Amino acid sequence: MSTLESQTIQKPDAETKARHWRRPHYNVVESAEAFEISVSVPGVNRSGIDISVDGDVLTLEASRGEAPNGWKALRRELPQGDYRLALKLNVPINESAIKAQVTDGILGLTLPKSEEVKPRKIKVS
């Protein structure tokens, strides 16, 4: 079960108007220690990814680059634009220990829960 909620964040700045954004598909799996998020970002390599945490909002932006020069589109079915995903975190996470790696167009994000929300065993003495 996911305790993360997605949220569309409207930023009416000039940059958003100039670029097209597309919301990637994503999946969240919760374990005792962390949230594992996998985001589909086909066409994106390591250098094109930008992840930031601002307060309780995790923002992911990934650019996939344009088709090579000289390519003329005969037909386009794929949605265009770069990826942007904003997730609202309603569980405190350990921001400094966030891990991310991208393989075959899937971005894997590990958000470790912060110590205070991890389950604890209490010994009866």
Partner 1 sequence: MKLIRYEYPQSPSVSAFNRLFDLGAPTVERFGSLFDDFFAGADQPAVDLYEDVDNFYARLELPGVKKDAVDVELENSILTVSSVVASESKDAAKQYRFSRSITVPEGVAFDKVDASLTDGVLTVTLPKAEARKPRQIEIK
Residues that bind partner 1 (CB under 8 A): 20, 22-23, 29, 38, 40-45, 64, 67-68, 70-81, 102, 104-106
C-alpha dihedral sign at 6, 12, 15, 16? positive
Neighbours of 34 (CB within 10 A): 19
Q: In the complex with partner 1, which residue's Cβ is closer, 45 or 114?
A: 45
Residue with tokens 């220990």: 97
Supply φ then ψ for residue 115, to 5 degrees. -55, -40
Q: In the complex with partner 1, which residue's Cβ is closer, 2 or 40?
A: 40
Q: How far is the CB of 95 from partner 1 (least distance, A)?
A: 26
Q: In the complex with partner 1, which residue's Cβ is closer, 65 or 92?
A: 65
Residue 19 has which token pair?
Answer: 């670029």
Q: In the complex with partner 1, which residue's Cβ is closer, 3 or 31?
A: 31
Closest C-alpha to 58, from 118, 116, 110, 1: 110
